[in-house]
Structure 1
Amino acid sequence: MSLDVFIMGIAFIFIHLFANELIPSGRIQKLKWFSFSGGLAVSYVFVYVLPTLHKEQILVKKYGDYFTMESELYFVGLIGVLIFYGIQKVVRNAQRNHKTNKARALFWLQILFFGFYNMLVAYTVISHDVLGVQAVFYGLAVGLHFVAVAHDLWREYADIYNKVGRYVLALGIIAGWIMGVLVKVSPLTESIIFAFISGAMILNVLKYELPPDDEAHFITFTIGVVSYTAITMSLKFFFQW
């Protein structure tokens, strides 16, 4: 495990343990904060996740007759969207129907799935050898994404999240580290894992981080999109990411 990955993992764990301490308390400051981080996250999806998913789809063509189309990994990403959306939908329905006990029980399921999600994200960082400057920009976008997800889970059931939930999410990061160091899988399996995580991340970014119209600070959101995109595209050009 490189120093870059180690530092990034420590930052991710810190985020899950203290996410709500990082968010401004004032309403206007909070709107600007979420708008800016949402802009970074949306930019990250379009300039990093989708191009990388396309690159992985091209690479898997060399694995013989298993992949004969141009969209198999995109289908795996769609499965990631469906699974995470389905879980969140079930939890929200229970909350809207005032089934408190059921909703709290289902919230545990949501926490476990996000712990699994964190594990796969951490594993993907190690397996794809994200290093140096690339690690900084990857870590910035994913870190802010984790803050938004953690804050949303905290708003649903703060007591569960503070007592147990945040530790489950942090343990997911540690499990991903261990998996990345000890478990060696085929390049095809790595591509499938990345595709699944990409679908789940796209859903979570658009659901948790794209601010609704009445809560968005458009100028700050635009600054986040333009600045992250411009810097990332420039670094891609110079360093051939």
Structure 2
Amino acid sequence: MSLDAFIMGLAFIIIHLAANQVLPSNRMKRLRWFSFSGGLAVSYVFVYVLPSLHKEQVIVKKYTDYLTMESELYFIGLIGVLIFYGIQKFVRKVDRKGDPKKHTTLFFMQIIFFAIYNMLVAYITVSSDVAGIQAVFYGLAIGLHFIAIAHDLWREYGVMYNQIGRYVLVLGIIAGWITGMLVQLSPLLQSIVFAFISGAMILNVLKYELPPDGEAHFPTFAIGVVAYTSITMSLKFFFQW
């Protein structure tokens, strides 16, 4: 594990433990915060995740003759969208307020679900061995993404999230760290994991991280998109990411 990956993982852990303490208490400032982080997240999807998915598809094609459509990894990403959306739809559809036992059961279901998500993200971070400036911008986007997820879970489950949920999510990150250090997957399997988690991330960003119309501050959102895209594209040009 590189030092950069270690620092990113440590930052992700701190984010889950203290996300709600760093968010502004003022409503307008909080809306601007989420609009800005939503802009960064959307930019990250279009300038990093999708190009990386295409690059992985090209790499995988070199290792096998069975992939002939040049879109197999995109299909894996679509499966990630389908599974994560289905689980979220099920959890949000059930009335969690009427039955305390059902509320607790759905809480653990959703927390375990996101712990697995965290584990896969942490694994990809460690196994990809990103470093330097690239690690900073990768970590910034993922970190803000984690803050949005943590805040959403806290709003839904309150005390249970603070007492149990955030620690389970941290265990997911640690599990991904350990897996990344001890398990070396083949290029094909690693690309499949990357495609699956990319699909889930795209869904989470576009459906759950973008502020609703009534809560969005568009100028701040636009600043996030333009700033992150401009800097990332410039760094890609100069450093050939």
* Counterparts of residues 1-241 of structure 1 (less than 5 Å): 1-95=1-95, 98-241=98-241
Greater displacement, 65-74 / 132-141: 65-74
Matched AA of 1:144: L
Is the CA contact (8 Å cut-off) linking 2:119 and 2:175 kept in structure 1? yes
Deviation at 1:117, TM superposition (A): 0.7
Matched AA of 2:214: D
- Percent identity over the alignment? 74
Separation (CA, whole Å) in 1 of partners of 2:64 and 2:157? 48
Matched AA of 1:42: V
Q: TM-score, normalised by structure 2?
A: 0.97
Stretches of structure 2 lacking an aligned partner (at least 5 in a row): none
Quote the RMSD (CA, aligned, Å).
1.2
Deviation at 1:10, TM superposition (A): 0.6
Other structure's SS at 1:69 match:
coil
Is the CA contact (8 Å cut-off) linking 2:97 and 2:103 kept in structure 1? no
Greater displacement, 157-166 / 63-72: 63-72
Deviation at 1:22, TM superposition (A): 1.2
Separation (CA, whole Å) in 1 of partners of 2:6 and 2:104? 34
Is the CA contact (8 Å cut-off) linking 2:35 and 2:216 kept in structure 1? yes
Equivalent residues, number: 241
Separation (CA, whole Å) in 2 of partners of 1:106 and 1:86? 14
Separation (CA, whole Å) in 2 of partners of 1:165 and 1:198? 23
Separation (CA, whole Å) in 2 of partners of 1:110 and 1:154? 12
Separation (CA, whole Å) in 1 of partners of 2:51 and 2:213? 28
Q: TM-score, normalised by structure 1?
A: 0.97
